[in-house]
Amino acid sequence: MFNRSKSDAPTVADANEAARAQAEEIASGKGHATPSRKDREAANRRPLVPADRKAARVADRDRARTDRERQQAGMAAGDERYLPVRDKGPQKKFARDFVDARWSVGEFLIPVVVVLLLVTFLPFPAATKNTISSYVLIVVWGFFLLTVIDCLVMGGLLAKRLREKYGTVERGVRWYASMRAIQLRPLRMPKPQVKRGQQPS
């Protein structure tokens, strides 16, 4: 009852069919049996310690330098993929372009302060040196006040443009713009992407 019938037993014709199918598979281009899982794992296994440690260190150092140069170039170009969190976002991008397109009082703050401090070290007579130091202090504080006023005005104009473009102003974007405005233009990072007078898009 439960025994297989003679018709279910493998025949010579079935064996010939299987052999022909295998031959066709080999002829079709595979040419080898499917590797076992054990064979695949052995092929993918790599030694923890490379045979040539010095060459491996050199290769790792070159790869790290290449990655670092690519990141620096991407950051300088303003590529979002390479920017730190503080520089990311469309509003930060707009703020950078807005600052870089205008002349700011703050970008001259550091050079002016350095020059005035150097003046105080010149060998003037004592009375003259005291007078010069007083004037230098007044000029520095006056320039600092102008920088603050310029940043406040710029922040107001930037906020207006951001509301027109995005409908809202992201928190901290005006402070972000002010900090960029007091940096020398060649030292800004990401590098300026617009020319003076060019309106940001």
Are 130 and 74 part of one and the same domain? no
Domain count for the chain: 2
Nearest CA among 64, 63, 62, 84 for reference residue 74:
84
Predicted local confidence at residue 8, as pLDDT: 47
DSSP code at position 122: S
Are 76 and 90 part of one and the same domain? no
Q: Kindly state whether residue 163 falls inside one of the protein's structural domains.
A: yes
Are 165 and 95 part of one and the same domain? yes
pLDDT of 37 strictly over 60? yes
Write the pLDDT tens digit of every residue in 129-141: 888 888 989 999 9
Structure pTM?
0.64
67, 82, 97 — which closes off a domain?
82
What Cα–Cα distance (Å) separates residue 30 from each residue in 19, 25, 179? 15, 6, 64
What Cα–Cα distance (Å) separates residue 176 from each residue in 89, 150, 171, 198? 12, 14, 10, 20
191 CB burial (10 A radius; 0-12, 13-18, 19+) = middle
Q: What is the mean pLDDT of residues 146-161?
A: 96
Q: Kindly state whether residue 63 falls inside one of the protein's structural domains.
A: yes
Are 160 and 76 part of one and the same domain? no
Q: Kindly state whether residue 129 falls inside one of the protein's structural domains.
A: yes
Comparing 6-10, 117-121, 139-143, the range with the smallest average pLDDT is 6-10
Nearest CA among 150, 176, 181 for reference residue 84:
176
Nearest CA among 165, 179, 156 for reference residue 89:
165
Are 77 and 89 part of one and the same domain? no
Q: What is the mean pLDDT of residues 106-132?
A: 87
Domain of 163, in residue numbers: 85-187
Are 179 and 103 part of one and the same domain? yes
Burial letters for 71-105: b for 16+ Cβ neighbours within 10 Å, e otherwise?
A: eeeebeebeeebbeeebeeebbbbbbbbbbbbebb
Who has greater pLDDT, 109 or 60?
109
Predicted local confidence at residue 197, as pLDDT: 87
Query: ∠ CA(139), CA(154), CA(183), 5° rounding?
Result: 60
Predicted local confidence at residue 9, as pLDDT: 46
Are 68 and 102 part of one and the same domain? no
Q: Kindly state whether residue 155 falls inside one of the protein's structural domains.
A: yes
What's the whole-number average pLDDT of the chain? 81
Are 115 and 153 part of one and the same domain? yes
